[in-house]
Amino acid sequence: MNLPQKREFTVTTPGGQCRIIDATIPERTDPAQREATIGRLAEKLKAQNAVLVSHYYVDGELQDLAEASGGIVADSLEMARFGAKHPAETIIVAGVRFMGETAKILSPEKNVRMVEMGSECSLDLSCPEDEFAEFIASHPEREVVVYANTSAAVKAMADWVVTS
């Protein structure tokens, strides 16, 4: 028996909380029903002046919703760049925490929300802010390079941020 999975998230905006997605999508949805659901959700995103940007690694249904609603499926940097150029007031990030932070760095005037705030990246977690600060303090003569898959706090302490 296939039990339905609840797919929803609530976004807090300056005007309060609003539910962007409120749908139950069964594990094995009829293709026509799936397309209709994605269409309804895409319209809700547009009505809220929001765009969904999705990483390659997230659930395929979220990727499909991003594309159907005028968003993008991309790597973390391209997600943030796309959100910065898109006219929507709210960027909803389907990815890990540092991706949301990067989107906010490139779009400080926009509301940036995460589909799942608890999503983390092992590369980011391997460079804790406090340990990185100690490293920098113990090597003041060096320029420090960090990978883009780090927190905003770590990026702010680095001399250079690079990506692959």
pTM of this prediction? 0.77
Rounded Cα gap, residues 66 and 58, in angstroms: 11
Q: In CATH, which of 3.40.50.300, 3.40.50.10800, 3.30.360.10, 3.40.30.10 is domain 5-114?
A: 3.40.50.10800
For residue 3, the number of C-alpha atoms closer than 13 Å in the C-beta half-sphere is: 2
| Per-residue pLDDT reduced to its tens digit, 43-53 | 999 999 999 99
- With 0-12 / 13-18 / 19 or more C-beta atoms within 10 angstroms meaning exposed / middle / buried, residue 44 is middle
At 114, is the secondary structure helix, strand, or coil?
Answer: strand
Domain ranges of the chain: 5-114, 122-162
Rounded Cα gap, residues 34 and 141, in angstroms: 57
| Per-residue pLDDT reduced to its tens digit, 3-34 | 455 555 555 555 555 444 445 555 667 889 88
Residue range 74-102: average pLDDT?
Answer: 95
